[in-house]
A and B are shown apart, each in its own frame.
Chain A
Amino acid sequence: EIVLTQSPGTLSLSPGERATLSCRASQSITTNYLAWYQQKPGQAPRLLIYGASTRVTGIPDRFSGSGSGTDFTLTISRLEPEDFAVYFCQEHRNPPGTFGQGTKLEIK
């Protein structure tokens, strides 16, 4: 089973700044089936990115995903107040794989 490790655990930034979140896999995700989800308190996760870099329709273009193999990154180019949340990565193979433990993006 692939283990996904996200870093940092908590990221403190101000609105307008750039956020870089990392997801590292214990072995190569050869199909690049890596997804990113955003979760706000009391809500279900929301799919942002799949296939490592494909943005879901309706997700602002300030969100971008990159990477391959074992190292993947979610970048938020200019943080808006509504972007402060917890972000999870997941190996979205068939059948579904594991989730990372999450990165909490908090307002500095």
Chain B
Amino acid sequence: QVQLQQSGPGLVKPSQTLSLTCAISGDSVSSNSAAWSWIRQSPSRGLEWLGRTYYRSKWYREYAVSVKSRISINPDTSKNQFSLQLNSVTLEDTAVYFCARIFYGSFAMDVWGQGTTVTVSS
């Protein structure tokens, strides 16, 4: 059974960097049949896909246009996890952040982390 466990701080100051980690069990971050995503949810923006990383002979990273200039998603094969970094955060980045697996049998997000509430505040 695949499980995702999120970790990271719940409070970030404006202009600083939001950093979260998603640890994978029951699958591999290097899997050729999955991609590893970050999604956020807020009352104002709803559910918003932020980006993903996946391995197909080499590592790929794809990001949503809305955050492309500020985001980085990176795999860590030694720990079987992946991370999110969002730079220069503002109050609008306050949201619940989820990691999720995209399974290439469906291209849908079939396994989700538990969610992390991140508040941007000074």
The contact of A92 among B109, B112, B115, by CB within 8 Å, is B109
Sorting the interface of chain B by its residue count into under 10, 10 to 19, 20 to 34 or 35 or more gives 10 to 19
CA distance A70 to B100 in the complex (A): 26
CA distance A43 to B114 in the complex (A): 7
The secondary-structure label for the interface of chain B is strand
The contact of B109 among A47, A93, A98, A100, by CB within 8 Å, is A47
Q: Which residue of B lies closest to A42 (CB)?
A: B115
- Within the complex, what minimum Cβ distance (angstroms) separates B5 from chain A? 12
Interface string of B83-117 (1 = CB under 8 A from A): 00000000000000010101000111110111100
A60 at the B interface (CB under 8 A) = no
Residues B108 and A50 in contact, CB atoms below 8 Å apart:
yes
The contact of B107 among A37, A93, A99, by CB within 8 Å, is A93
- Within the complex, what minimum Cβ distance (angstroms) separates B112 from chain A? 4
Name 10 interchain pairs, CB-CB below 8 A, sorted by A: A43-B115, A44-B100, A88-B47, A90-B108, A95-B49, A95-B62, A96-B107, A98-B49, A99-B48, A100-B46
Tell me which residues from 49 to 108 in chain A have a Cβ below 8 Å from any Cβ of chain B: 50-51, 54, 56, 88, 90, 92-102
Interface residues, chain B, with chain A CB atoms under 8 Å away: 37, 46-49, 52, 62, 98, 100, 102, 106-110, 112-115
Interface residues, chain A, with chain B CB atoms under 8 Å away: 33, 35, 37, 43-47, 50-51, 54, 56, 88, 90, 92-102
CA distance A35 to B98 in the complex (A): 17
Q: Which residue of A lies closest to B49 (CB)?
A: A96
Q: Which residues of A contact B62 (CB under 8 A)?
A: 95
Known contacts A95-B62, A96-B52, A99-B48: does B110 contact A56 (CB below 8 Å)? yes
Q: Which residue of A lies closest to B37 (CB)?
A: A96
Most buried by B among A33, A45, A46, A95: A95
Q: Which residues of B contact A44 (CB under 8 A)?
A: 98, 100, 112-115
**A46-B112, A93-B107 known, 14 other contacts, Cβ within 8 Å:** A35-B108, A44-B100, A44-B113, A44-B114, A45-B109, A90-B47, A90-B109, A92-B107, A95-B49, A96-B52, A96-B107, A96-B109, A99-B47, A101-B46
